[in-house]
Structures are given as C-alpha cells and as structure tokens.
Amino acid sequence: MQAPKGSAHMSTSDTDLATLEHDLLSELDGAGDLAALENFRVSALGKKGRVSDLMKTLGKLPADERRAFGQSVNGLKQRVSEALDARKAALGRAAMDARLATEIADVTLPVRPGPEALGRIHPISQVWDELTEIFADMGFSVAEGPDIESEERNFDKLNIPSSHPARQEMDTFYLRGSEPSVAREEGTRKVLRTHTSPVQVRTMEAQDPPIRIIAPGRVYRSDSDQTHTPMFHQVEGLVIDESTHMGHLKWCLEEFCKAFFEVDSVKMKFRASHFPFTEPSMEVDIGYAKVGDEVRIGEGDLWMEILGCGMVHPQVLRNVGYDPDKVQGWAFGVGIDRIAMLKYGMPDLRAFFSGDMRWLRHYGFLPTEVPSLAGGLSS
C-alpha cells in the first residue's frame, strides 16, 4: 500500500520537529540561571530563533501540508514556551529559597514589654473599682466629700459631742487654722476626717430619702505602727428609707463579702458593739482559714473582725433634718486597705504608701484588668 503523497515528507518533518523539541527541552533543563534562560529564549523562541526559523520554511511547503506543519510547529512553540515559564518560576523560587536561607532573625532576642504591660493600677484603686461594681449592682451610688472637714460634720452631727470619749480615742488630726486659740473653744476647728461618715452627713443634708450610697475615701488618724498608718482608706455604706432594717443590713454585708472575696459562702458573726452614730451597733467577724501565710475567707473556723455597722442613730437622723419616726436606716464602715490586704495577700499596710516600684509592680493591677461582675472581679 502506497503511502499518501506528502506523508513521507510530513513524517520526516515530524521527526525533525520531535528531535528539535527534545533538544530544546534538554537545553532548557541545562539552563542554570535567569541569564541562561534568556539566552535560551532568544535562541529558541526569538525572532531569529530556531522555532521561528522553522516557521519560515512554511512557505516552501506544498499548500496542502502547510496547515498541518504549521499546527505542529505552533504546538512545539507553545510547549517550549510553557516549559520555559515553568523553569523560570522554579529558578526564581530556588533563588528566593537561597536568599531566605540567609535571612535569619534570632527570635530568642527579647522584645520590650509595651507600656500597657508596664503600667499598674494601685491595689486601693482596683479595690475601689471592685466595690463600686458590687454596690452599683445593689443600687448604691458613690458619694465623696472633702478630706478636710469641720468638727461639726466629723463629730457633732454624728452624735459625738466634744466630751465624748470616742472623740479623744480617735486620735484626730486638727488643722492649725488661722486663729487657733479662737476656733478651738468654739468647736469649729477643721479636722482631717477620721472616717467617711461626714460624707453620709453631707448626703443626707443634701437630699431626702431614699438613700443608698457608698462613701469611699481617704481618712486620717494620728496613729502609726505596723498595722496603723496616719492615712488609710475606708468605705462606708448608708441606706435610708421608711423600713429598711438590720436584716437587710446583714444581707447586704453577706452579699458584699461573697462578691468581694469571690466565694460561694461566708461565715459571719455579728456581735453587739457601740458607735455613737448607730443604735443598735454591731461589729462583724468573718470566718477564715489560714493556709501557710494565705488567708482564705469562707473556709476554716478562725474569726477576724472586719467591719462595724448598725442602725443609724435617731439623733443623727434628727441632726440632718430627718424624722426618725418616719425614716430609718443603717450604715457600715470597712477599711479598703484592710480588705485589699486580706483578698490579695499583702502583708504590710505601710507598704501601700511607700511608692516602692517593686511593691507596686508586684501587687498592682494591669490597666486592662478592669473589674466587672460579669467577668468575675479579679479574673
């Protein structure tokens, strides 16, 4: 059987093409860098390259062979071109890998902590915020007042007359005043408030019941030893309405202690006591366990005194213009520094006011540690 005319020629050309393709692809594999690749591109696919040369022979072919030959050459051209691209990419990647292999950061070099990790909130401020959270939930707002108070608001209005022994025992700081000898006799000296109770007085003077406030703040007593500093912090609470009673006071303090110390239950012991501004008056002990140096509130069978409280004395109500037959209420007071020490295990009160960076860094709180009831106060 005779082969169709031209087929012999075509098969010859196909063989040439196959050989050329093989040669070109081998050459490509041998190109080791981008420059060799460019040389190859010019010599293979350039205007005067070998593939282009082949195309130029197209015109010499018989018309019936041109089409098929042309398609074969184009196929060759495309495959070589693709192989070139692939080779180029591979070489580029290899070059990048080689470069990256030399780019090494010593990741063990330390980074500096940012300011947000360096700054601290003082434990007193943190506990103040915690108290605000807890009592806000129970409907208390926060009242504040001046540190320098009149004797009248610090003592007299609170049913502590000048002759009262409590007034001596409080170790009050008196301001010198411009005319000390004159003011002294009149009982109108200025004092550094010995408690935040004058804030209660101010609140009651300024508004009618119902009242629910806490009054946190700095207070001062002329006392200085291991467990006493001449300045410390106190939070007092005051509730006045027509019928609130000692049962509510107990509930409030129990809820407060549970929330503040973040425990499910607390044991509290209410003992009768005496304060001139409350009647009846109580002191409250809280149950705790001691594990090593750590105090654990809500566990164990030891007791410590934690706060004083009572029903607001009728005379105090009268002093602010209330009628004790129509309204009644209760108040309590607790040391902020004291409960901060208990909760966070700080041993020495004096260190609170030392400004020692080591202490502040250790016991202070991050600015991002904002107490919330939803998140747990200290988490």
The Cα 309–Cα 269 span in angstroms is 12
Among 88, 190, 258, 296, binds another protein (CB under 8 A): 190
Options 27-35, 58-66, 78-86, 164-172: segment touching another protein (CB under 8 A): 164-172
Neighbours of 152 (CB within 10 A): 16
Contact map string, positions 207 to 236, toward another protein, x by CB under 8 A: -----------x-x-x-x-----xx-----
What's the min distance (Å) between Cβ of 303 and another protein? 9
Among 182, 361, 375, 376, binds another protein (CB under 8 A): 361
Options 25-33, 49-57, 85-93, 269-277: segment touching another protein (CB under 8 A): 269-277
The Cα 18–Cα 79 span in angstroms is 12
Smallest CA-to-CA distance from 273 within 333, 214, 230 is with 333
Residue 190 near residue 176 (C-beta atoms within 8 A): no
96-155 binders of another protein (CB under 8 A): 109-116, 118-122, 124-125, 129, 132, 136-142, 144-148
- Interface with another protein (CB under 8 A), residue total 92
Among 175, 206, 263, 289, binds another protein (CB under 8 A): 175
Residue 17 near residue 76 (C-beta atoms within 8 A): yes
Sign for the pseudo-dihedral over CA of 180, 184, 188, 194:
positive
The Cα 230–Cα 221 span in angstroms is 5
Residue 326 is classified by DSSP as T
Query: How would you classify the pairing of strands 141-142 and 211-220?
Result: parallel
Contact map string, positions 302 to 331, toward another protein, x by CB under 8 A: ---------x-xx---------x---x---
Using DSSP, state whether 82 is helix, strand or coil. helix
Among 76, 192, 201, 339, binds another protein (CB under 8 A): 192
What's the min distance (Å) between Cβ of 252 and another protein? 6
Among 26, 292, 358, 379, binds another protein (CB under 8 A): 358
Smallest CA-to-CA distance from 159 within 147, 167, 171, 148 is with 167
Options 18-26, 85-93, 245-253, 288-296: segment touching another protein (CB under 8 A): 245-253
